[in-house]
A and B are shown apart, each in its own frame.
Chain A
Amino acid sequence: MRKSSLLALVGAFAVAASLVIGPAASAKPAKVNQATAGTVVIIHDQEPPTMRGSWEDNNLLATGLVTNNIWYGCEIYNNFAKFVPRLCAAKPKIVKRSPLTIRFTYKKSAVWSDGKPITAKDYRATWKVFTNPHNNVVSRTGWEDIRAVRGTGKTVTVVFKKPFADWESYVAGGVYPAHIIAGKDMNQMFQSSIPVSSGPWKFQSWQKGTQITLVKNTRFHAWKPMRFDRVVFRYILDTNARFQALRAGEGQAMQSQPQLQIADFLKDRKFVVERKPDIAYEHVDLQFGAKGHPALKKTFIRRAIATGINRQQIADALYRTISPGLPALNSLIYKPFEAGYVNYWGKQYPFNQARVINILKANGCTGGPDRPSASNNDIFSCPSVGKLSFRFFTTTGNQLRALAFEIMQRQLKSVGIELQARFQTGGVLFGTTLPSSDWDLIMFTYGQTPTSKITAKDLYACGGDQNYSLWCNKKASALLNKVPLTLSAAARTKLLHAAESQYIVKAVPSIPLYSRPAFTIHSRTLRGPVVNPTTEGMPWNVSDWTS
């Protein structure tokens, strides 16, 4: 090669290298896992589609993580899923039972970031937003049960049309600023920005596809102010990239779904992993309708299935590395950390394979094994319902769910019950299959709130809005339908326990598996983040965060 050509090639290489080395060299060397002074970066997977939560296109946890500290509530859920006052001077109180009348008072220091005070006018304006049929909100439940909102100052009086047990959820939440939304089309408001805040941070900017930046609300004095100057949510869709970015110090904190990568962070002393059972729980529904397998209409078969699944083994197998000791869930209504949690399912259906075979044989089923065996291929057939071979539906592309199915399949095959996999995308499963009730067994997660038990009727009462199992027991329904109308928490607990212990557990319309664990991972140099199993998410106590 000629010397000049060689020199030209070297020169070209040097130019290219400078483009690489230059920016890299000028990048500030980041100290290992330390938050940049004044800024904390939270890495998350899903970016909100808009800043307008509670709308039909935006019922996402991802949005709430950003907006919960902007639309700050009279109360918020703490990490024990209990309401604690924030903008309100004290917890809202029932002042009259009939008609149900609630009263609460905003603190004098509760003001919007533009200086205007937060008053009853804002609560009234919010109520009107959710009851306006023109607005495409995702749910009017609760709001449409309010008859009147009285008051103009800091004290708000809410009068309900009828007894409404879940009233606290509807008075505790954040409100919209009446002076900002007056006369505006709410379907167009808050798409890409929010001009004011009532909470510890306020919206600054949104670089779509990359990050949302929030800054300290210097006018927030109703509770502890945020210590950081800035919180940035960085959005990284790919799971591996998210964890790598956390390792590489591109963020200091992350709220994570159960992922196997968490195991590495448990061993890494530079990080702290907090975990707690979530309100969301994994379960298996059984079909009672005409499109389901006729065998599932027989109680003894459903009980045999419940007895043949080792739920604790599934929880251990799935979460041994990332959440060791996760217990099986033993109630369809209460979670392990809630007062009122009783072990119904563990006592009624302890795992016992020999017992499954005995139950089936005692009811005339034949063709199955005499003893449980891992190599068994014989499947029971029962009188008038045929072979116990069931279509098992769940979502595809989820490692943990696929493993859970495999374990269940083997456990039940050992005792002569067959499960056939039917994995579908979420869109098909929840959009078409589930509502059509054309399935035998279906496994998925119910995302819930701490007050979801008040509306357990939607899942288990006859004709419930989300009762896709089509189970119908009139006595259970009567108990469950009373719950939303019962104001006393103790009385509600009694009703729910009666419904579950006397009817639901015995009928087995659904089998609880485990409460999904919730995780937060943060750099050890960042202090303060605590797992919150509710939709408040990890930023619920951002005012306590320090570095």
Chain B
Amino acid sequence: MLTYIARRLLYSLVVLIAASFLVFTFVSVSGDPLAALRVTPNVHPDIIERIAERKHLNEPIVARYWYWVKDAFTNKFGTTLLGDRPILPDLWRVMKNTLQLVIAAELIALTLGIGIGVYSALRQYSFFDYTGTTFSFLGLAIPVFWFALMLQVGVVKIYEWTGHRIFPIANLSDVDPGSGIHFVTDRIHHLILPVLVLMIVNMATYSRFMRASMLEVLNSDYVRTGRAKGLPERKVIMRHAFRNALITIVTLSALSWGGLLSGAIITETVFSLDGMGLYFVNSLLSNDPYPVMAFLMITASSIVFFNLVADVLYGVLDPRIRYD
């Protein structure tokens, strides 16, 4: 197992280096970070040239990539191309905000998805099962951005009819969020709609997988044996069937956790949440590769790590799986 993990980490390093170079290249050639300055009145070409020289923008891509690598390791991901603003403090701030959002969404999606899936399997072909199936497909089919917009429109309509704004439309906090418990409740209030948007798809996925996994396990020999031995039904379900059915969900969830830090780009953009997704969008719009690269390295590392965790967990949970 240790050899397997070491080998996977080595491969991951190669993947990260290749991904970083490709992304750096594509972002660098996709636009000029000095574009806005070129059409600004009274900006002398000398000023533009001075910035380009200071930031090595006239050098080949490989050289510029090397400058980035140096900055990333010796200067905490470096500074922005224009203005020399340190990247790490901003990244740390948005990471905390994104984690609040996506962890809440993931935990709720897992809890509800597993619960719905288990009960649907136990009551197969019941009204609950059919309803769960229908809403799962609906959840999988709904585009995230559309759902987010519809929620905002709904809140506005209710506000116009009643004068009460039941949920905020955007941002992470009120004008005066307060402190202590008031700050916490204000933050929860602002996260309700974005969490709802994010969890719908994942909840649908988990409930479908859990249902299928439970049905497969419930029809297995050892479950039949347990029942034949006279074990209470609850024990058969929770101790034997449920635990074995959970293997698929655990590995699925481990993979999902890997992608958490990439944020929810669309959700954060629609709700204007100061998170990794919006940070990424703003960096792309300004054609500045440094913040984009910082974002990439964190999210790619997270995905690689959790992929490894998922594979290892699978081997731990299922004794039939062994890695060399």
A245 with B169: CB separation less than 8 A:
yes
Say yes or no: A210-B173 contact (C-beta < 8 A), given A27-B165, A431-B31. yes
Which of B69-77, B213-221, B251-259, B270-278 contacts its partner?
B270-278
Rounded to whole angstroms, the CA-CA distance of A27 and B188 in the bound complex is 12
Q: Can you list 11 A-B pairs with a CB-CB distance of less than 8 A?
A: A58-B83, A136-B51, A139-B43, A209-B273, A209-B274, A234-B175, A236-B272, A244-B155, A250-B165, A250-B170, A455-B41
Residue A183 interfacial (CB < 8 Å): no
Which of B13-21, B89-97, B223-231, B311-319 contacts its partner?
B89-97
Residue B180 interfacial (CB < 8 Å): no
Rounded to whole angstroms, the CA-CA distance of A245 and B160 in the bound complex is 12
8 further contact pairs, Cβ within 8 A, besides A431-B35, A431-B38: A36-B175, A57-B80, A57-B84, A136-B84, A141-B42, A210-B172, A245-B169, A432-B32
- CB < 8 Å: which of B81, B90, B173 contacts A207? B173
Which of A15-23, A117-125, A317-325, A373-381 contacts its partner?
A15-23
A23 with B188: CB separation less than 8 A:
yes
Q: Could you give, for residues 260-282 of chain B, a 1 whenever the CB lies within 8 Å of some chain A CB and a 0 otherwise?
A: 00000000011111100010011
- CB < 8 Å: which of B42, B165, B271 contacts A455? B42
Which residues from 418 to 434 on chain A have a C-beta closer than 8 Å to any C-beta of chain B? 425-432, 434
* Chain A residues with CB under 8 A of B83: 49-50, 55-58, 136
* 4 pairs of A and B residues whose beta carbons are closest in the complex: A431-B32, A427-B31, A209-B274, A57-B83
Residue B287 interfacial (CB < 8 Å): yes
List the interface of chain B (C-beta within 8 A of A): 30-45, 47, 51, 80-85, 90, 93-94, 97, 149, 152-153, 155-156, 159-160, 163-173, 175, 185-186, 188-189, 192, 269-274, 278, 281-282, 287
Rounded to whole angstroms, the CA-CA distance of A32 and B163 in the bound complex is 6
A30 with B165: CB separation less than 8 A:
yes
Residue A65 interfacial (CB < 8 Å): no
Say yes or no: A211-B93 contact (C-beta < 8 A), given A30-B164, A430-B36, A434-B39. no
Rounded to whole angstroms, the CA-CA distance of A248 and B82 in the bound complex is 36
A24 with B271: CB separation less than 8 A:
no
Rounded to whole angstroms, the CA-CA distance of A136 and B42 in the bound complex is 15
Which of A217-225, A356-364, A444-452, A523-531 contacts its partner?
A444-452
* Chain B residues with CB under 8 A of A213: 175
Say yes or no: A244-B39 contact (C-beta < 8 A), given A191-B85, A209-B93. no
Residue A237 interfacial (CB < 8 Å): yes
B84 with A187: CB separation less than 8 A:
yes
Cβ-Cβ contact count across A and B, 8 Å cutoff: 197
Classify chain A: how many residues form its interface, as a range.
Answer: 35 or more
Say yes or no: A434-B38 contact (C-beta < 8 A), given A138-B47, A209-B93. yes
B33 with A427: CB separation less than 8 A:
yes
B166 with A431: CB separation less than 8 A:
no
B42 with A139: CB separation less than 8 A:
yes
B21 to chain A, nearest CB (A): 20
Which residues from 191 to 228 on chain A have a C-beta closer than 8 Å to any C-beta of chain B? 191, 207-211, 213
Which residues from 326 to 383 on chain A have a C-beta closer than 8 Å to any C-beta of chain B? none
B165 with A427: CB separation less than 8 A:
no
Query: In this complex, what residue of A is CB-closest to B175?
Result: A232
A427 with B170: CB separation less than 8 A:
no
B41 with A56: CB separation less than 8 A:
no
B282 with A237: CB separation less than 8 A:
yes
A198 to chain B, nearest CB (A): 24
* Chain A residues with CB under 8 A of B281: 237
B168 to chain A, nearest CB (A): 7
Query: In this complex, what residue of B is CB-closest to A141?
Result: B42
* Chain B residues with CB under 8 A of A237: 269, 272, 278, 281-282
B170 with A236: CB separation less than 8 A:
yes
B35 with A430: CB separation less than 8 A:
yes
* Chain A residues with CB under 8 A of B41: 446-449, 452, 455, 458, 466
B276 to chain A, nearest CB (A): 11
A59 with B44: CB separation less than 8 A:
no
B311 to chain A, nearest CB (A): 33
Q: Which of B31, B94, B173 has the most CB of A within 10 A?
A: B31
A20 with B192: CB separation less than 8 A:
yes
Query: In this complex, what residue of B is CB-closest to A24?
Result: B166
* Chain B residues with CB under 8 A of A36: 175
A164 to chain B, nearest CB (A): 13
B102 to chain A, nearest CB (A): 16
